[in-house]
Amino acid sequence: MNGIRTIASIKKSIEGHIGEKVTLKANGGRKKILVNDGIIESVYPSIFVVRLEDETQRTVTYSYSDVLTRTVQLHFPG
């Protein structure tokens, strides 16, 4: 997801990866970086949903501005 600068282009890129695996790096505050693997489940006008592949199978939501400001970084395999 390097080089993408607008929320519209971020949304379009994420839409192209629905159902695919992704590695999330999220800023958890207080110098904590949370790293999780998951699958992009759905995309909405202002947020996207990722189902985490951990023992709880929970979902998390992030906004496209989180990706723009690098609060969340997405890494697609391959």
Where do the structural domains in the chain lie, given as residue ranges?
7-75
CA–CA separation, 78 and 76 (whole Å): 6
CATH topology of domain 7-75: SH3 type barrels. (2.30.30)
Quote the tokens at residue 69: 């400001």
3-class SS at 66?
helix
Task: State whether residue 58 is helix, strand or coil.
Answer: coil
- More reliable by pLDDT, 5 or 72: 72
In three-state secondary structure terms, 33 is strand
Which pLDDT score is estimated for 5? 78
Segment 21-59, tens digit of pLDDT: 999 999 888 889 999 999 999 999 999 999 999 888 899
Give pTM, 2 decimals.
Answer: 0.86
- Tokens standing for 30? 């207080």
- pLDDT tens for 1-19 read 555 579 999 999 999 999 9
Q: Which pLDDT belongs to residue 77? A: 87
Write out pLDDT tens, residues 30-40: 889 999 999 99
**Pair of tokens at residue 75:** 């890494």
User: How far apart are the C-alpha atoms of 2 and 68, rounded to whole Å?
Assistant: 10
